[in-house]
């Protein structure tokens, strides 16, 4: 009977490298046809696949990960599309028999036709709405490792903007044309697959707009620079430069991966103010409060 190994996937708010562990039942010298399976959990920020409001959850049958296999010297060996609920085997990877120790990382959503170690993930394709999960590298021994834990984290940064409307002074007519825009963002995350990290952000600076009183923008980690949040309401525009805002009394300089910035703006016919700013859950980086006055 073919021996198997399980690939356990856990998600936490911090990157970690876990050593591979064995279930003690599948030690073998035959490295060809061992099976592997992924049993998964994911931590805060994404809304896909099955995640709660804080982004914690797990993969389920039918979900897919891309797995990237490297030699101990970090040379690319193989890329594999893993489907939860289906059987997968070491032999599917086409590895030569002399390769026993392997480093691997994974990501979600899966990527296809990836030929190099560096993946360019462009958030502008989905208007900065899609999360990207990335696991830290882990080293396993083929044929000996029967349970593989992968740590998936939310690789990007999330900005949440919420308008808190004073309904006693702001009419429905005033707020019907609300648009929230995030401006001057580098849209491309340059991701090292073998290291399991976002190295930097690049591309032509881009703006993303959401017609709503609540808006979320998932962008590559990057320096704050001249990133702005623009609120269009009641035929007027109000602009907030993030670099001018303070988090716990300190200027905001960098938007970290795995973190979320919350910008709460109180809106009334007399005032417009930021009432809360916070980066959290994913993991907290701060909250900004301000206001708008018409």
CA–CA dist 49, 56 (Å, integer):
10
pTM of the shown model: 0.81
Burial class (CB in 10 A: 0-12, 13-18, 19+), 204: exposed
Ranges of each domain in the chain: 4-154, 157-293
Give Cα 115 to chain centroid, integer Å.
21
Residue 291 · residue 274 · CB < 8 Å: yes
Kindly list the averaged pLDDT for each block of 10 residues, start to end, along the chain of length 294.
47 34 35 58 51 66 89 87 82 82 91 86 96 90 74 91 89 89 98 95 98 96 97 93 89 93 88 54 62 61
Give the pLDDT of residue 293. Answer: 60
pLDDT digits (tens, 9 = 90+) for 77-105: 889 998 877 877 888 888 888 888 999 89
Summarised one tens digit per residue, pLDDT across range 102-160 is 998 999 999 987 878 899 999 999 999 999 999 889 888 876 766 777 878 899 999 99
What is the domain class of 4-154 according to CATH?
A: mainly beta
Domains 4-154 and 157-293 share a fold: yes
Q: Which two tokens stand for residue 229?
A: 């949040």
Q: What's the pLDDT score for residue 19?
A: 33
Which of 104, 119, 106 has the alpha carbon at shortest distance from 70?
104
Fold of 157-293: Immunoglobulin-like (2.60.40)
């Amino acid at each position: 009977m073919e021996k198997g190994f399980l690939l356990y996937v856990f998600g936490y708010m911090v990157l970690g490298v876990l050593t591979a562990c064995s279930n003690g039942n599948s030690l073998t010298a035959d490295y060809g046809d061992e099976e592997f399976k992924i049993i998964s959990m994911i931590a805060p920020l994404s809304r896909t696949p099955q995640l709660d409001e804080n982004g914690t959850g797990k993969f389920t049958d039918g979900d897919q990960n891309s797995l990237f296999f490297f030699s101990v010297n970090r040379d690319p060996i193989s890329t594999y599309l893993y489907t939860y609920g289906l059987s997968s085997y070491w032999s599917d990877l086409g590895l030569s028999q002399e390769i026993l120790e392997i480093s691997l990382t994974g990501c979600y959503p899966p990527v296809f036709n990836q030929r190099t170690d560096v993946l360019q993930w462009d958030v502008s394709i989905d208007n900065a709405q899609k999360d990207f999960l990335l696991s830290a590298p882990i080293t396993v021994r083929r044929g000996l490792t029967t349970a593989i834990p992968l740590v998936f984290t939310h690789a990007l940064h999330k900005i949440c903007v919420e308008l808190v409307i004073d309904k006693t002074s702001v009419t429905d007519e005033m707020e019907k044309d609300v648009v929230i825009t995030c401006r001057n963002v580098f849209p491309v995350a340059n991701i090292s697959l073998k290291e399991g990290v976002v190295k930097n952000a690049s591309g032509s600076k881009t703006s993303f707009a959401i017609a709503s009183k609540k808006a979320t923008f998932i962008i590559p980690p990057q320096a704050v620079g001249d990133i702005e949040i623009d609120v269009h309401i009641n035929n007027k525009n109000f602009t907030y430069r993030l670099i001018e805002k303070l988090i716990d009394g300190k200027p905001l300089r960098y938007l970290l991966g795995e973190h979320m910035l919350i910008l709460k703006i109180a809106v009334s016919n007399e005032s417009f103010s930021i009432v809360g700013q916070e980066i959290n859950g994913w993991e907290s980086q701060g909250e900004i409060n301000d206001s708008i006055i018409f």
